[in-house]
């Protein structure tokens, strides 16, 4: 992701042939993680001054977990839009585009789409995006160069998918915030 573009509707990308959110399960996990971490962080911050543990450490760690959960929530709220001018990932006010001019081809695999450009690539994992079959059709309808491939994507493409790592970070943030709240309560 190398360029910031304008939001949809300003006439810069054409009409989207498809817009896709993250899958519902990961979106729910991100919402629950943010609520849990904010609640336990508030408890930690409220109780930090009365204990034997350094309050500054507890407060900074609580805010760190809140920031991690907030970023995870924001990433899971991003949408993917496909139009004749390329593929856009982001939100209404901020997004990143792989333009058609940069796109060499879209390699379609059973577990994702690798958008290969002159420099670098994006991998859109099937497990990260809702209605993946419609995403594949939208790339074709947009007239982007598509190469169908049998089987799974190569490892070099799959390591770019952020879904499992992000879900793990959200679970870690919930566990970390819970431990901090327990430390604050016990201190």
Express each pLDDT in 117-137 by its tens digit. Answer: 888 788 999 899 999 889 988
User: Domain ranges in the chain?
Assistant: 19-186
Beta carbons within 10 angstroms of residue 49's beta carbon: 11
Tokens (6 digits) for 68? 């991690």
pTM value is 0.83
Tell me the per-residue pLDDT of 18-64, one tens digit each, with 9 for 90 and over: 889 999 999 999 999 999 999 999 999 999 888 778 889 999 999 99
From edge to edge, which strands make up the β-sheet containing 146-148?
121-125, 112-117, 103-109, 146-148
- Asked whether residue 7 carries a pLDDT value surpassing 60, the answer given is no
Q: What is the pLDDT of residue 92?
A: 85
Tell me the per-residue pLDDT of 77-109, one tens digit each, with 9 for 90 and over: 999 999 888 889 999 888 988 888 888 888 899
**Using CA atoms, how far apart are residues 4 and 46, in angstroms rounded to an integer?**
39
Q: Give 140's pLDDT tier (boundaries 50, 70, 90).
A: confident
User: In degrees, to the nearest 5, what angle opens at C-alpha 144 toward C-alphas 99 and 8?
Assistant: 45
**Using CA atoms, how far apart are residues 7 and 5, in angstroms rounded to an integer?**
7
More confident residue, 63 or 150: 63
- Asked whether residue 183 carries a pLDDT value surpassing 70, the answer given is yes
Taking a C-beta distance cutoff of 8 angstroms, is the pair 89, 8 a contact?
Answer: no
Average pLDDT over residues 129-158: 87
Q: What is the pLDDT of residue 11?
A: 43
**Using CA atoms, how far apart are residues 33 and 72, in angstroms rounded to an integer?**
9
């Amino acid at each position: 992701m190398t360029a910031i573009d304008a939001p949809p509707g300003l006439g810069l990308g054409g009409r989207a042939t498809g817009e896709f959110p993250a899958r519902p399960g990961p979106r729910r996990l991100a919402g629950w993680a943010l609520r849990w971490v904010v609640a336990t962080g508030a408890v930690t911050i409220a109780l930090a001054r009365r204990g034997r543990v350094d309050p500054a450490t507890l407060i900074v760690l609580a805010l760190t977990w809140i920031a991690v959960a907030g970023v995870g929530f924001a990433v899971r709220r991003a949408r993917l839009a496909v139009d004749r001018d390329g593929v856009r990932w982001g939100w209404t006010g901020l997004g990143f585009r792989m333009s058609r001019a940069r796109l060499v081809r879209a390699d379609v695999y059973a577990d994702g789409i690798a958008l290969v450009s002159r420099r670098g690539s994006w991998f859109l994992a099937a497990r990260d995006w809702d209605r993946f079959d419609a995403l594949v059709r939208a790339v074709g309808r947009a007239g982007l160069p598509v190469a169908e491939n049998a089987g799974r994507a190569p490892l070099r493409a799959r390591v770019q998918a952020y879904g499992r790592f992000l879900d793990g970070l959200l679970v870690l943030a919930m566990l970390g915030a819970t431990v901090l709240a327990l430390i604050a309560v016990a201190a």
